[in-house]
Structure 1
């Protein structure tokens, strides 16, 4: 297994630049082998998930962030296909509701955290509040925050505090047993164009495209700056970012699955050991069952 974890991992924001990360890297992998490679990794993840569920001491939160058409949905569908739904929770965050806007920006995300023993997957996350809201600061006005009456009130200090809130939130999670890994699917502008055109050309994919996506695409550079700043401010040893190339979907799925597997493996999870009394009861139960007449 290639050490993709180290290739794409970001833990020190002071040294981070998106320009250092490729959108089409595939390493030594080839597309022809991708299906078999992914199948094997998924099988291993499934076994690790069972250990996580049985140990019931920690949880894993996987965050996906990306530009439109980067393949978040398909990545989640493929790389998590071997998981037991009983131990997995998936949330896809849309625009906040009126109720959610009446709370702090982390409230709805805190409610969606995985329980101990489970894997939580957040398709978009609390980072939307320093990504979309950074590009469209008028969205912040909907939060009705004290002292924020117009966009001019949203300055550097506001964003510094928001990044700080996110760091503290994630530090609190890790201190209480939730392992946090964050994926940015790094898509090129050229590849996004090709995927948009494909969505328009194929009727069964028309529903994935909205004309508003074109307006957001015009702010590409602003979004890249927002992503770079967010990763710079929130990449830590405990809650790393992974900047995964997204131009080749088959490789993106392998990379994500490999990182998830290595993260679970590093937890060194063990199945619970039964007390001596319970072990004795197992033998009694075995004797009772074997003595039954068919």
Structure 2
């Protein structure tokens, strides 16, 4: 398979989602895509062991996308070879009463990965400039001073929220968190097919909610909000990658490739060396064990 240019998926301040593809197969079979993913996820798993032993950096992986874009299955397939001690997945739902008593970033901050670990946010702090932008009435539940009705939520409010998110990520990066943000770019037609599949297959019924259809009617508004969020928050230390998601197997491979290619550039990540005294006595330790 040809090399994947990770920069071709990296977003910037002029990215337009309508101009980007939602499907990719690299001209190869699903079998070949799965084979390439198996190799990459093994290398990622080995890297995870190293970053865990090194203990200098943490890795935060943010996944966003419309319903049915494949976030859950991507987590399952890409990180299958990770040691469970080194990776933590958080799926953020509707804020709880406790979470609403704090600022909107609090629940995300306390879920951040410790140094040496990978953290995966399945839906992220960006819900606070996506869902709440499509449904600004949700902001009222945050009880923010000066925000008493929807009409109080103006452009300055969203400017401030974007600034807070950028500052949050800048702070994380400055303190050793390597940040990746992936938008799984799904077509409206592919979402329709996946929702139908949930309805046709009994074992998939649990994934369906009538609210999925209500939100689908707001597709264009969501795309607009996603685009602005990506444009305003894709930064060198916290880049967004727009990944074609109509083909789940290629989407998983692209994400794995981006992670591996970016992480292997960190030459200061290495397993710690044994101290000289232990090194000098390795043969003695071996003899003790072999003579038992």
For the aligned pair, the TM-score class normalised by the smaller chain equals: over 0.9
User: What's the counterpart of residue 274 of structure 1?
Assistant: 274
Q: Structure 1 residue runs of 4+, over 6 Å off?
A: none
Q: Which runs of 5+ in 2 are unaligned?
A: none
Distance 1:28 1:56 in 2: 40
> 2:16·2:227 contact (CA, 8 Å) conserved in 1?
yes
Query: Which residue of 2 is the match for residue 162 of structure 1?
Result: 161
* Alignment correspondent of 2:64: 65
Superposed CA offset, 1:45-65 (max 9, x none): 111111111111101100000
On the 8 A contact 1:141/1:151 being kept in 2, the answer is: yes
- Counterpart mapping for 1:36-185 below 5 A: 36-185=35-184
Deviation at 1:7, TM superposition (A): 1.5
In the alignment, what sits opposite 1:8? 9
Q: 2:4, 2:254 within 8 Å by CA — same for their partners in 1? A: no
Q: 1:205-227: CA deviations, max 9, x gaps? A: 01101001111000000000000
Cα distance in structure 1, aligned partners of 2:25 and 2:111:
33
Identify the residue that residue 186 of structure 1 maps to in structure 2.
185
7 and 86 in structure 1: CA distance in 2 versus 1, 3 angstrom threshold: same
Alignment of 1:206-245 (within 5 A): 206-245=205-244
TM-score w.r.t. the length of structure 2 is 0.96
d(CA) in 1 for partners of 2:117 and 2:5?
24
1:241-284 deviation line (CA, Å, top 9, x unaligned): 01000001111111111112112212222111122123234344
8 A contact 1:4–1:255 mirrored in 2:
no
Tell me the distance in 1 between the aligned counterparts of 2:165 and 2:28: 35
Contact 1:59 1:114 in 2 (8 A): yes
Query: Matched residue of 2:246: which SS?
Result: coil
TM-score, reference length from structure 1: 0.95
Over the aligned positions, Cα root-mean-square deviation in angstroms equals: 1.2
Distance in structure 2 (CA, Å) of the matches to 1:159 and 1:281: 61
Q: Is the 8 A contact 1:187 1:246 kept in 2?
A: yes
Tell me how many residue pairs correspond in the alignment: 290
8 A Cα contact 2:63 2:121, kept in partner: yes
Gaps of 5+ in 1: none
